[in-house]
Amino acid sequence: MPFIPNYEVGGILAGRYRMEEVLGEGGMSRVYLASDLKLPGKRWAVKESSFMPELGIRLEEEAGLLVSLNHHRLPRIADFFQMEGGYSYLVMDYVEGIHLDAHFLGKRGALNAVELAKYGLQICEGLHYLHSLHPPIIHRDLKPSNLLIDGKGEIRFVDFGIARKYKQESMDDTVKLGTVGFAAPEQYGGRQTDGRTDLYSLGAVLLHLGTRGKYSVWSSESQAEFLKNRLHSLQPVVSRLLQMKPEKRFHSAAETGEALKAVIRSLTANEGGAQHKESVKQLSSRRNPRSIVIAVMGAVPGAGATHTAIVLAHSLARYARRITIVEMDAKSAAFRNIALLADGDSSQGDELRHFRFRSVDYVRTPTRTELLDLISGSCECVICDLGSSRRKDLLEEFARADLSILVCPAAEWRRLELMPFGERPLSAKRNWVCCVPLASMDAVRRIRMDMSTGKVYPLPVERNPFSPGKETELALAELCGDLFPESVLQGSSGLRWNWRFWRGSD
């Protein structure tokens, strides 16, 4: 049964509050924007509701909750009226802003995982305050339409219509309420709601926003849509929040907040994301809007092409929103083994052709069409691991890349194997460069002579390619020039090759 309002626009409540417009309404209440006739220029949000005996809820109960609360994310009550006919009126601060779902659904371009995580963290702040009271207050109706983003970008809770105090002695809730799609399973009966109920709703809100309003319940379809929007880093948090059993969720809003902080730190690593912004600025300055393509090839089998490609991908991932590494040699088993680390299911290792591991997207043996789609997509950089194969199509990929990295062995006894590359006019290839893992400077000088080029650089030992150390990062900055932010380049020493293509100059 729809809510039947007692006031219309233009009506005056208690001789003071003029109803200027309807801000929103539902089955239990209506909210007006009201002007204050005693304080010209002052505006309030007035919530009109009626006693509903079948639900056992009165607006004065909400007022009783709100009047005792004091937190910047929660609404502040200013006045309360109970009128004849069972109608009640709650006068609250008017928060000028936009509902959370409207904010995200109205954004153009890709969703920002950092922004979504930060809003989730702000919601956790409000929930932590409520759940820390004695007794705790459970919101029970957390959803995007009950959350606003104000003019300062801050989350504000705007409705507490079915909030309740937690009763230690109660086995279940007297009233089963909540919004379908955002309410936790336990809200439909069988047990009392607690703080973990609101955490489920938080997960539903994040999933709803992350899938652009398509889903609010965790499933294989919603997971695929969530990952499609490049929100991989948030998946572990959201999937845990949306567990059907409360004991499998996070234990508290504070614990959830710590998990979200860890996601934010990982996405804005290295000095609070300042270097990330610097790198993105460099990326956006390029003339060609497609992805940068880096091809990595081993001059001989066992030179370390795959290891170098992985190290480079995870180093660049610290400064760019999306880095993709592609395994071009179908005979290689490296990405299959990494897929096992990422998925943890040995039965899926051969089937996973697209997966994400530690902030890097991995793609196994794409078709030419798939590779072109990647390059023309939203990645900042696509790194092609060509292995040491000499197939014609892979050699062509190596030649056409924006930056072609030839990985050479340091051992002198393999010197003859480099001769075919030395006979080619490598020095004339503007975007070709050589790297030599585990090399001494004597070995680097020798290979420079053999290759007739000065673009030969050593790489240090890196035992963990998924989390490269500072020494490795500096060496790669030397190798790749302006792919890395200036702050990294300033820490490198020796000769530096400036990749002019990156700057957009010929």
State the burial class of residue 197 (Cβ atoms within 10 Å of its Cβ: 0-12, 13-18, 19+).
Answer: buried
What is the overall mean pLDDT for the chain? 77
CB atoms within 10 A of CB 43: 15
| Between 501 and 131, the higher pLDDT residue | 131
| Between 333 and 264, the higher pLDDT residue | 264
Domains by residue range for the chain, with CATH: 12-93 (3.30.200.20), 97-267 (1.10.510.10), 274-503 (3.40.50.300)
pLDDT tens, residue by residue, 342-366: 665 555 545 677 888 888 888 888 8
Locate 499 and state its tokens.
């990749």
Determine the Cα–Cα distance for residues 267 and 466; give it in Å rounded to an integer. 15
Confidence bin at 325 (pLDDT 50/70/90): very high
Confidence bin at 32 (pLDDT 50/70/90): very high
Residue 52 has pLDDT above 60, yes or no: no
Preceding amide of 246 cis, omega within 30: no
pLDDT tens, residue by residue, 162-201: 444 434 444 444 443 446 678 888 887 656 678 899 999 9
CB atoms within 10 A of CB 186: 21
Please tell me whether 107 is known to bind a ligand: no
pLDDT tens, residue by residue, 436-484: 888 777 777 777 777 666 678 888 888 888 888 888 888 888 777 667 7
Please tell me whether residue 249 adopts helix, strand or coil conformation: coil
Alpha helices in 108-251 (DSSP H): 113-131, 195-210, 220-228, 235-241
pTM: 0.52
Strand 77-82 and strand 87-93: the pairing is: antiparallel
Which residue type occupies 88?
S
- The confidence score (pLDDT) of residue 334 equals 84
Confidence bin at 338 (pLDDT 50/70/90): confident
